[in-house]
Amino acid sequence: MTERENLLALLRHEPYDHIPVEFNLCPALERTYREREHQPEQSYADYFGFPWRNVKGLVQDDPDLARFLPYFEGLMNDRVTIDSMGVGHESTPTSMHMTKMICPLRNAETVEEILAYPMPSFSAENNTGLAAEVQALHDRGVASAGNMQCTVWETAWYIRGMENLMMDMMTDEEMAAAMLDRVTEMSLQRALLYARAGVDILYLGDDIGMQNSVMMSRELYLQWIQPRLKKIITAVKAERPDLIVFYHSCGYVEPFIDDLIDAGIDVLNPIQSECMDFASIYKKYHDRLCFHGTIGTQTVMPFGTPDEVYQAVRRNLDAAFDGGLLVAPTHMLEPEVPWENVLAYVRACREYRP
């Protein structure tokens, strides 16, 4: 079985051959990988044999980001960059790979300002190489994924500001609807391009959980966010019923799992072990959902011993008695994670027989 065949079988609850490994390293840990594994060239995804690769980001119809500059008047300096959605990011000398976000519509007061925002658009004409790229991945034996996390809620608040958008949702419905609809429309264009190019996986996500609670009430979630997510998934699955939809949200999301299933997701990530008990979530939802993640990056990965990491991986694979678990660290691995713990995770996966 190729990595791709193995992964797709696992996610479709069919017999599969081995437990795949998959994780994300911060730049500092990637340097550790190169030193410790003596790999100056090869990517860690190739070295460890990850089951999928993201296809490259889509090209916007108007690639000139200078159109966003008016939103950052007086704020631009050599530490500020503007991303493809028009959101500003300011780095600081101490913040490593993280940046301070500057939301372009933070001061908007009218619907007109939201409608005037030069939101990116995406079309097939400007993304002609996509299908060939997907095929090339499949020919290599790895699955292909269109990564478009920050699907609705997060991109909308990155542009508008989280507090502003939440308050709009509570007290200014026209503003909230304009913002969320525009992002949904854009995400739908992107999702359809990926789906039509033949990707195996569409990786969606919006953080809607906090450490011990959800970010908003279920009423608000069902009023504003879930229907828009569902609209996107329904449209892509109408064309590609075989497409596997991953969905990421940090934190505690248990109260929303039924709603996410209703929206059409197939795989939930990351089941943060510090916030939710994987074994009980699995029991409740395994017949309708697969899982990706479950190994805590706030606890065992940075602070556990290699043996504790090894046991955590085995424990969760045992708990997933009916399969459907792609076991992995719950988030990007940060600089303080010992390299031995990463290797212990890999060893636990490789030594486990499904």
Partner 1 sequence: MSILTDISENLQKGKAKVVKQLVQQAIDEKIPVDQILNEGLLSGMSVIGEKFKNNEVFVPEVLVAARAMNMGASLLKPLMAEAGVQATGKVCIGTVRGDLHDIGKNLVKMMMEGKGLEVVDLGTDVAPETYVQTALDQGCQVICCSALLTTTMCEMENVVKKLEEAGAHDKIKVMVGGAPVTQAFCDQIGADCYTADAASAADAAVEICKSIA
Examine residue 223 and tell whether it contacts partner 1 (CB under 8 A).
no
Is the previous residue joined to 70 through a cis bond, with omega within 30 degrees of 0? no
State which residue, 233 or 309, has the beta carbon closest to partner 1: 309
Selected binder of partner 1 within 127, 184, 273, 297 (CB under 8 A): 297
Examine residue 215 and tell whether it contacts partner 1 (CB under 8 A).
yes
The label of the residue with tokens 């509570």 reads 170
CB of 217 to partner 1, least distance (A): 5
Say how far apart CA 177 and CA 222 lie, in whole Å: 13
The label of the residue with tokens 């005037």 reads 116
CB of 199 to partner 1, least distance (A): 31
Selected binder of partner 1 within 36, 67, 79, 100 (CB under 8 A): 100
Say how far apart CA 37 and CA 47 lie, in whole Å: 9
The residue count for binding partner 1 (CB under 8 A) is: 33
Helices 153-160 and 162-171: angle between axes, nearest 10 degrees: 100
Which of 10, 22, 4, 25 minimizes the C-alpha distance to 333?
25
CB of 304 to partner 1, least distance (A): 12
Instruction: List the alpha helices (DSSP H) in 140-273.
Output: 153-160, 162-171, 173-197, 218-220, 226-239, 257-263
State which residue, 137 or 271, has the beta carbon closest to partner 1: 271
Examine residue 214 and tell whether it contacts partner 1 (CB under 8 A).
yes
Provide the 10 A C-beta neighbour count for residue 198.
20
Selected binder of partner 1 within 99, 149, 189, 311 (CB under 8 A): 99
Contact string (CB under 8 A) for partner 1, positions 167-206, x = contact: x-xxx-----------------------------------
CA-CA-CA-CA torsion sign (230, 159, 195, 204): negative
Examine residue 102 and tell whether it contacts partner 1 (CB under 8 A).
no
Q: Which residues bind partner 1 (CB under 8 A)?
A: 92, 94-96, 98-100, 162-163, 166-167, 169-171, 210-217, 220, 251, 274, 297-299, 302-303, 334-336
